[in-house]
Structure 1
C-alpha cells in the first residue's frame, strides 16, 4: 500500500488538534482509509512558537513551497481569511492535490471558483468544518437530502454570540459585560468584530443557502445585523412575551420557487422553539424539507478538537477517493435563483418606544401603523421611574413596510425615542 501524504497549512488552535489527532489515531485512520496516511509538512507564519504534540521537524514557514510539492495527496487548510489561503488552495488544486478546508470566509467568497478548479483538476474540495464545527451538516445537505427539496434553513451558527446572548438572558447583564466575560473565558477573540457584527454567521449562511437551494450565494448577498445593539431591556422584553433573543441565520426559498432570501440578525423566538434551549457556545441548525420534514443538527460549533473532528472526517473521505481514483460530490449549482433583498422579507417586529405620558399617544401610534398597512398583534404600556414606554408587536409584514412604519413612528412629536426594534420569528 502506498502512503498518502498530507500537508497542513496553519497550526493554530484547529491545526494543532488536526496534527495531534493524525499522530494519535494513525493506526485507526490507516484501517479506515485502507492505506497509511502521513503528515509530511506544516506551514506556519512563526516557526519558533511552541506547539505541544506537533513534530518540530515538520514545521516550516514556506507554505507556497509545501503546496508545490508534487507528492502531496491532500492539503488541509486551517489558516483562515481570504488570502493567502485562496492562492495556496488554488496552487494545491492545480498540482493535483485534494483540499480540506475549515475556511468559511474563503468558501463564501470564492467557493464557485475553487469548486470549478477542483472539478477541472479532478480533485476533491471539502469544507465540512467551515460551518458547524463538529456538527455533520454540509454532507447531509449535499448527499443525504440530495433527493429532497429543502425549503428553509434556520439556525444558530456562531458560538460566541450565542454565549453572550445566553449570559445576557440568564444574568440580566448588558452586552459589554457579557462580552468581557466571553473574552476572559476564551469564547471571544481579542477582536470579536467578525462574530458580534454577524460576519462570521453571514459567511456560514451563504454556504448553507448554496447547498440547500443549489444556487450560488456569496457573503455579500447576505443581510447582516450583529448583536452589539442588543440591550438588557431587549432581553427583559423578550422574557415578558415568553421569548428569548438569538442571533439567527435564516435561509428561505421563496413561495414562487424562483428566489431565496438569506439573512443574519438577532430575533426573538418563543421559549418552546427548540432553538431557544440552545445554550452557551453551542450551535444548532434546523433544516426543513418537503419529504423529510424538520431536522435538527446540534453540537459544539467551534473549538480546536470539535473542528478537527470534521476536518479529519473530510480527510478520510478525500484519502479514500484518492485510493479509488475518484472524487466525491462537488458543487451542485444548477439553478440561478434570485437572492431577494431584506426589504422583501416577511417577518414580525417588536418595537419599544419611549413616549409622552399623555392622552392620544396610543391613537397616534396606531394611526401610523394603519397608514402603513402594518397590523398590531399585541400592545402594552408600561409606566416606570424612567418614564412611559409603549411596546408593540406586529403581525407579519414586509421588512420594508416595518422599517417605514418605525421611521414614521419615530417622527411623532409624542414619541421621545425608539428604544429598540427587533424582529420576531415565531416558527
Structure 2
C-alpha cells in the first residue's frame, strides 16, 4: 500500500533538497528519493563554490569545506595567465559531506529522504502525474503525491516521459576528474587552463583541496578524442601535478546550455541540472541548483494552496526562472558560443587585453559589451562580437 504525499522529489542533490526543505517549511509533506547508495557520492564536479552562495543556503559548516580560496589564475594556451582576486573569496567543498549536510538539514526541517531508491517510472492518471514507481533493495514500490518534482540531474529519462526533454549531445560536455595527492600547487588559487589543444571547447582545472591535494579535471565537447586523452596530456605537461597519486576518479556529463523553456506538466516540474540550470561558461551548478529548487518550491506552494497543479498554474515557474536566472544564463551561453569559436592565437591575444575584474563579470553574464569591444579590435572577430550585442 502506497503513502500519499503532497510532493515527491526525485533526486537529493542541491536542487532537490532546497526544494524539499522550503516546501516542508511551508507546511507540506515531502518525500525525496535518491538513487545513490550514499547521498553526495560519487561527487560529480570540481567542488568550487563562491562565498556569496551562503546568502542562499546559510553558513556552511567548516566540516564541509576542504580549502578556502582567494582567487584564480586563468591561463591562455601560451602559458601566460591572468590572476583574479575574488573580493569575497570562495571554497572548495568536500562535496560528499556538503550534500549530506544539505540532506540532513532538509530532514531536520521535516523532509523524508530515502537513498538507494531507483525511480523507474511516473504514474499518470487523467492526464496528471500522480506518483512514482521504484525499487528499494530489490523490492518494488509505488508512492503517490499531488505533485512530482524531477531534480535528478541531466541524465534522467523521466524528463522525457513527462516533457519530452532529452539532453542534446552538442550541449553536453564530457568530464573526467582525478583527485590527486602529493602535488605542488598554490592552495589558495584555482587554476583554469584554456585552449583548443588543452581542452576542446572546455578547459582543464586544478581546484585545491589542501596544500598538496586537488581536484584535477577536464571538460570537453565529446569528439574523436576522449576526456581521458586531454587530461593525460595535461598531466604530461605539468610534472608538478603528474608526480602525485590519483586517490579518486570521477566521470560524468555536464550541460553547458540549452536551458529549457517549458519545465512543467500537469502535476510535474523539472528543476536544477535536470532542466540545464547550470552556468554555461564554467559548468558550475550548485548555486543555480539551489536557486532553481527554491523558486520551484515557491510556485509549487502557491499551486498546492490553491489546489491547482495544472500545467497552466505551474507555468508561472517558467516565467519566474527565466526572469530571475534564465535571461542571465542565456547571455552567458552566448559568451560560451563565442569563446568556443576562438583559436588558440585569439585566446592568447585577448587574455592580455582583459582586466581581471572584467573576467569575473563576464562569467556572471555582465559587461559583455566590454568583451565585444575587445573582440572588435580584431577585424576577423567582429562578426563574433556582434553575437554579444
Q: TM-score, normalised by structure 2?
A: 0.32
Q: Which has the higher contact order (CA 8 A, sep 6+)?
A: 2
Q: TM-score, normalised by structure 1?
A: 0.29
